[in-house]
Structure 1
Amino acid sequence: MLTGFAMLALPGWHQAHAETIDTALARAYQNSPIINASRASLRATNEGVPQARSGYRPRINATADIGSQITWRPNPVTGAIDSRSRDPRGIGLEVTQNIFDSGRTGNAVRRAETQVLAARMRLEATVQQTLFNGAEIYMNVLRDTAILNLQRNNVEVLDEQLRQSQDRFEVGEVTRTDVAQAESRLASARSQVSLAEANLRANIGRYRQIIGSQPRELGAGRAPERLIPGNLDSALHFGLTENPSIIAARHALDGAQIAVKVAEAELLPRASVRGSIDRRFDTQQRGDRQTSASITAQLTVPLYQGGEVSARVRAAKETVNEFRFELEQAREEVRANVITAWGSLEAASAQIQAAEIQVDAAETALTGVREEARVGQRTTLDVLNAQQELLNARVNLITAQRDRVVAAFSLVQAMGRLTPHQLGLAVAEYDSREHYEQVRNRIWGTSTPSGD
């Protein structure tokens, strides 16, 4: 009796190289371009913090100019045209320092930091989705492999059944109808083998896309049992407090609320200090030199900007409402996902128990029908039907086993706990704070910390 998944074995591999679901998920975590793209997006978001903090720092500009000027005028004595030429040129340095901006820079920094927190949670959600996809495709390949083996075994059994029917027909024990029935079932079984092979090939391709390598020899899958709480209420509590999608939506709402303050600051006074020094040559006549320096304190009080800033403030307030609804949607979606996964897990567990009983009963029935057929109490069709019922029962068992493992991973993901650390994967986890600390206070340089 087949009660578990068969092992997928391809040429050139041995038991020592067997892949487990943990090693497959570790490969997915390390190789996924989706995760790497999300990490790059986070690093780009990190750069928003030094951009915002630049509002605290001075702006320094150097200038240089050079030109040529010729003046023509008549000589009052001779009447001839006299010309004079000079080359005015100069260099300068200007420094502008923000003194007060009604909290715009401070709020911009807070918003940027909140956006970083939201991006970290989006990365976490991407990681968990990728790990779930890896677990799902791993179990799909195992299921399709086991079903293919069953279908191939069924072809062998039906082929032997057809041979026996033909032998019995030749000695007059059965009719031509019995032979035709066996031939029909064999043809159908062969078509099912072709379908199973196509399904397996498709999922092998998907496996390579998600895991990053070709499946060679896969061990039995297992559910993350220790991460599953004892009741639905606990699962809902974990989901509503730990799911990264909810946390990311909460940070996005915080950032939107701060953005209103940033926009409102444009309606308030600003103060700055500007200092400059210039060195000029040939300003009035050839060979002269002039140096000047100045320092200016400037207060700017916005009075009217044509309604532009006011419109942006109103838009920012509506964006807050948008993110507030998105947070509520994220909560409801997580709640629904937890309840759905919990129900699927319970249903799959019940289906496994029922399928095991069904397989035992179908095996007993097939044995009895075959014995009765030998003494003429059953027809060939009865044997074929019993064989098909056993095949269906075994396929149902394999499918239920796969569904239970996938439902378990789905539940853990909905709770926000499908992380490499929680799963105990043997990988070096990406430190989302390392890059942030490298660029947070950086004041110059265009190369990234990685050297690009």
Structure 2
Amino acid sequence: MVNRFISASTFALLLALSASGAAHGQSITQALTAAYDHAPDLQSALLEAKASAESIVQAKSQKLPTIGASVAGSQSWSLVGGQITTGSQITTGVSYNQTIFDNFQTEAQIEQARAAAELAEYQIRNSEQNVLLSVVEAYMNVLSGRQLVALRQDNRSFFQAQLQSAQDRLDVGEGTRIDVAQAQARLAQGEAAYRASLSSLEVSQATFQRLVGARPGELSSSHNYARLIPASLDAALAEAEVGHPAIMISKAAIRAAQAGSDAAEAAFGPTATINGQVGSRWTNGGPTDGLSGSLGFQVTVPIYAGGAIGAGVRKANLNQIKSEVDAMSTYDQVREAVISAWAGIQSADAQIQAAQSAVQAGNTVLEGTIQERDLGTSTTLDVLNSQAELTSAREGLINAQTQKVIATFSLLSAMGRLTASDLGLPVEVKSAVNYTQSVEDVWQELRTVAE
């Protein structure tokens, strides 16, 4: 009887800690905050977005002037008739080159680069969601792993007590060797299950540390993010269609592909450039030619390029079609993820209710079976089976509660709302928008040289 009450009270304490959280525990919000600042994947996505922004500058440069200054010098000598003649020359100049018309190819390339930068920005949000969802999964795996370890440790203690009880009854002639053997077998199974849960917990804690950057403290499944979930599935789908990063990435990819197609078609048109230079030459320390300069222009019209231009257009058009097909696939995947996560929450709720009923019934059955065993109307095997069923029900409750939390955050992720901004995390949101705006100032390079 004492062992049963220890088991029930221990399990109740575990569930209470899971529901209310420890006084100084590590909350889900704290873990998400730490992971957001720590995650290498997010930092990598941010750097990728900044690198993409530089493509805008490179595209703009195609129609902006290229200005350069040069200084050149030479020293010469000759030996004629026994006399050595020497000379020196210094040449300075400024050159100017600019494409003034390229059939709007540069404008298309700029639009393509901007779409790619926008895509990279949304990729940060997508990576952010993946990281935060992985943190929640790792967090709940550690929490449920600890609960399972404690439960199976308690279960092992119960079987140890039953083995001792069976052995005591055998010693006084009230039991059988079968009872002892059955208790020994169940104890071995309980020990194996306990060891397996310890190993699984170690793996979960290692995953948690990799994602969060620190070992887990006292954890709690308590959170208030369910308030972000809309009241209906249709509303959740509507939010996902409007704001999920993967869908926004697909839209940006379509824009980039369309601009790429425009740029490829523009390659068939004429190109006009102007160039000029101004310079001076000094010989033996004095100017000889004064200032000199030139100004020219060139118009080029492509006629035939070995099929390269036509192939480029066809390839760009195919990429545009592919981007639209990929967008449709992404839309379907997001929709599927929302429906799956929504169903996961409903299923978890039903499993929690069923598991709670099973635990309550299992406690009653175990208590009655122990009493019947003491009166001789039930066997040790009956007690062992009742305990195994109760343990299974308790494990089911732990798993159902874990899945409920994971399904909740999975739905937020599927809706596109598992972001630092939506969750209100106390972090500086990672974004390349300001960086993109700053590098689009293409004259900054010239001002830097002047300064």
Q: Shared fold (TM-score greater than 0.5)?
A: yes
* Residue 59 in structure 1 maps to residue 59 in structure 2: no
* Residue 31 in structure 1 maps to residue 32 in structure 2: no
Q: Residue 348 of structure 1 contacts residue 401 of structure 1 at CA under 8 Å; is this kept in 2?
A: yes
Q: Residue 223 of structure 1 contacts residue 406 of structure 1 at CA under 8 Å; is this kept in 2?
A: no
CA RMSD of aligned residues (A): 2.5
Distance in 2, matches of 1:432 and 1:71, equals 62
User: In the alignment, which residue of structure 1 is the partner of 2:383?
Assistant: 383
User: In the alignment, which residue of structure 1 is the partner of 2:47?
Assistant: 40
Distance in 2, matches of 1:81 and 1:306, equals 60
User: In the alignment, which residue of structure 2 is the partner of 1:130?
Assistant: 131
The structure that is helix-richer by fraction is 2
Matched ranges for 1:150-299 at <5 A: 150-222=151-223, 224-282=225-283, 288-299=288-299
Q: Residue 6 of structure 1 contacts residue 146 of structure 1 at CA under 8 Å; is this kept in 2?
A: no
* Residue 326 in structure 1 maps to residue 333 in structure 2: no
The structural deviation recorded for 1:81 is: 9.4
Q: Give a deviation string over 1:85-117, Cα, whole Å, max 9, x none.
A: 644542221111232222122222211111111
Matched ranges for 1:408-447 at <5 A: 408-445=408-445
Distance in 2, matches of 1:195 and 1:300, equals 74
Matched ranges for 1:332-347 at <5 A: 332-347=332-347
Q: Residue 5 of structure 1 contacts residue 220 of structure 1 at CA under 8 Å; is this kept in 2?
A: no
Distance in 2, matches of 1:5 and 1:198, equals 22
Matched ranges for 1:338-417 at <5 A: 338-417=338-417
Q: Residue 22 of structure 2 contacts residue 220 of structure 2 at CA under 8 Å; is this kept in 1?
A: no
Local SS of the residue matching 1:191: helix
The structural deviation recorded for 1:57 is: 2.1
Local SS of the residue matching 1:297: strand
Local SS of the residue matching 2:255: helix
The structural deviation recorded for 1:230 is: 2.1
| CA 1:366–1:15: 2 relative to 1, 3 Å | closer
| CA 1:223–1:193: 2 relative to 1, 3 Å | farther
Q: Residue 6 of structure 1 contacts residue 220 of structure 1 at CA under 8 Å; is this kept in 2?
A: no
User: In the alignment, which residue of structure 1 is the partner of 2:5?
Assistant: none
The structural deviation recorded for 1:241 is: 1.8
Distance in 1, matches of 2:129 and 2:287, equals 73
The structural deviation recorded for 1:234 is: 1.9
| CA 1:215–1:287: 2 relative to 1, 3 Å | closer
Q: Residue 49 of structure 1 contacts residue 113 of structure 1 at CA under 8 Å; is this kept in 2?
A: yes
Local SS of the residue matching 1:217: coil
Distance in 2, matches of 1:301 and 1:68, equals 43
Distance in 1, matches of 2:216 and 2:394, equals 24
Local SS of the residue matching 1:363: helix
| CA 1:312–1:72: 2 relative to 1, 3 Å | farther
| CA 1:161–1:16: 2 relative to 1, 3 Å | same
The structural deviation recorded for 1:225 is: 1.5
Local SS of the residue matching 2:42: helix
Distance in 1, matches of 2:23 and 2:358, equals 35
Distance in 2, matches of 1:220 and 1:249, equals 34
Distance in 1, matches of 2:116 and 2:71, equals 40
The structural deviation recorded for 1:67 is: 3.8
Q: Which deviates more from structure 2 when the two are superposed, residues 274-283 or residues 129-138?
A: 274-283
The structural deviation recorded for 1:300 is: 2.2
User: In the alignment, which residue of structure 2 is the partner of 1:76?
Assistant: none
The structural deviation recorded for 1:214 is: 0.6
Distance in 2, matches of 1:194 and 1:445, equals 64
The structural deviation recorded for 1:218 is: 1.0
Q: How many residues align?
A: 435
Q: Residue 6 of structure 1 contacts residue 142 of structure 1 at CA under 8 Å; is this kept in 2?
A: no
Q: Give a deviation string over 1:260-288, Cα, whole Å, max 9, x none.
A: 111222221122221211223459xx984
Distance in 1, matches of 2:350 and 2:22, equals 32
Runs of 4+ in 1 over 6 A off after TM superposition: 70-73, 80-84
The structural deviation recorded for 1:423 is: 1.7
